[in-house]
Structure 1
Amino acid sequence: MNVLICYMRGFIAEILIYCTMLILGTIGLPFSLISKDWAYGFIRLYCRTCFLILRILNNIRIECRGEIPQGKVLVCSKHMSFLDILMLAYYLPRVSFVMKKEILFLPIIGLYGLRIGCVPVARGTGSKALNSMIRDYSDFDKKNETQQIVIYPQGTRVQPKEIKKYKIGAGVLYERLRLPCHLVGTNSGKIWPKGSFKKSSGTAVIEFFSVLQAGIPLNEFMVKMETDIEKCSNMLMEEEESREK
């Protein structure tokens, strides 16, 4: 019975989260087209509302650890849930995501993604997509945009403890843009797993735990990024598991 209630509450939470996206997104769209600051403001309002829904229905708390980057940086993060997207969008002041091209065609979220400068990447197009992504972010650099560029090195959401290769795109972006790279670990998949309505009570954490300065050789960067992100995320998940006992 408790498991059934957990799934029902999770299902209701998702309905409210997507209805909120439609309502707030529609209200905020005219303002967001006028000013990018308005777009960021409505995104943060939406994230806060989602956190409130999850707190009330699922007893989920949100926590951000470490020093939040403020300037023009690259952010490489573990990705296990829609929840870690919400958390990064809320805490990073001028966030820009490298996102799947299909998201462009989703109502509301695609429009806001374009407005704040997210860069769409087509799956399976290899070096062509990589070069397009580099070119788009190089254009931002010329405009002196002070955005925090978020890329998920594994390219998609993963289950807790799932082993999935880290893709070279994050490393090439780091090498070409020559920006400091902030590493982020999370336990979000323990709270809101990929592909499930179930949402477990607990504390969802993102942690900005390390900064890799520009100039590290590509192979060395890739190894260190993967090792450190996995280590931090596993520690956060183990911490959450110990709370559950």
Structure 2
Amino acid sequence: MSGRASSPVPGPLGPWQYIQNGLYYFHVAIATIIIGLFGIVLVIAKGRRGANDVASSWIGYMLWAARLHMGVTCEVRGTPPTDDCIIAAKHQCFLDILTIAHAVPRRAFIMKREVMRVPIMGWYAYKVGCIPIDRTRGRDAMKSIASQINRRVADDGLGQLIIYPEGTRTKPGERKSYKHGVQTIRNATGLPIIPVAVNTGLFWPRKGWGIRPGRAVIEFLPAMPSDIPNDQFLSRLEDEIETNSDRLMAEAGFRNEMAV
């Protein structure tokens, strides 16, 4: 919510910082097992609400452990949504997943179906309402997802469904074509689309090793206007997310060599 400048990107990491990265992953693996097992009772008792409570605790613990082991934090700017909506975010690393999910009350993701098969985490992802996508089905997969979204809105509410329009993580300064899935969902559901800009990849690499200390930023931007014509929507969304992500990265001292 603050408008402070994010931390500048530090220099090369030393051997000890890579050891700290390893200690972090070991720590959170143990914590995931413990929190996941103890949380089963809460999920049985309270259903999706209980799963969200467990997820909030797990995500908060992951962020705390990142600060403890590696000195990395993430500032949240803008106003996180609390009503049913689609969050369309720039995706650079695991840190933006954690921070966006921690900032909203009923988070769920559109995610690769393989992730839903991961022990413990995959089960909780299913319980909080994450929707698996079969990428081999192309646009048919997005139409199926849109139908699931409408059913959930009609039943007990959707929450804040997070989608990454590029479909994958990107390096700082890298852009990939935005896929039509978010537009298909917008047309089928009429839900508001909330863009999110990030600079998290400057501190937490795509592969998860070589994490740097500092304060990254994610920023919830105003909802996309509902009257944008279809032939303009995707380009407008891309411009909004990419321009603001570039601004956040420049604020941290990043010079985009890819644009030179």
TM-score, normalization: structure 1? 0.93
| Cα distance in 1 for residues equivalent to 2:55 and 2:185 | 25
Taking structure 1 as reference, are residues 221 and 50 closer, same or farther at Cα in structure 2, changes over 3 Å only?
same
Query: Which residues in structure 2 correspond to 1:151-190 (within 5 Å)?
Result: 151-190=163-202
Question: 2:246 is aligned with what amino acid?
Answer: N
Indicate yes or no: 2:247 matched with 1:230.
no
Match of 1:62 in 2: 74
Q: Which residue identity is paired with 1:128?
A: D
Task: Find 2:103's aligned residue among 91, 95, 100.
Answer: 91
Matched, 1:239 2:254: no
Task: Map 1:1-245; keep pairs closer than 5 Å.
Answer: 2-35=13-46, 36-241=48-253
Shift of 1:178: 0.6
Paired letter, 1:131: K
Q: Identify the structure with the greater helix proportion.
A: 1
| SS of structure 1 residue aligned to 2:148 | helix
Q: Distance in 2 between matches of 1:240 and 1:22?
A: 35
Q: What letter is aligned with 2:198?
A: T
Structure 1 letter corresponding to 2:51: A
Runs of 4 or more, structure 1, over 4 Å off, are: none
What is the CA-CA distance between 1:34 and the residue it aligns to? 2.6
> CA separation in 2, counterparts of 1:156 and 1:114?
20
Q: Which runs of 5+ in 1 are unaligned?
A: none
Aligned residue pair count: 242
Change over 3 Å in CA distance of 1:2–1:134 after alignment to 2: closer
Following superposition, the deviation at residue 146 of structure 1 comes to: 4.5
Identity among equivalent positions (%) equals 29
Report deviation, 1:2. Answer: 4.8
TM-score normalised to structure 2 length = 0.88
How far apart, CA to CA, are the structure 2 residues paired with 1:23 and 1:226?
Answer: 40
CA contact (8 A) 1:179 1:213 kept: no
Displacement of 1:144: 4.2
Residue 11 to residue 218, structure 1, CA distance change in 2 (3 Å): farther
Secondary structure at the aligned position of 1:211 is classed as coil
CA distance in 2, matches of 1:118, 1:196: 22
Tell me how far apart the structure 2 counterparts of residues 215 and 89 of structure 1 sit (CA, whole Å): 28
Give unmatched runs, 5+ long, in structure 2: 1-11, 255-260
RMSD: 1.6
Q: Take 2:208 and 2:102, find their aligned partners in 1: how far apart are those partners?
A: 23
* Mapped partners of 1:202, 1:219: distance in 2: 40
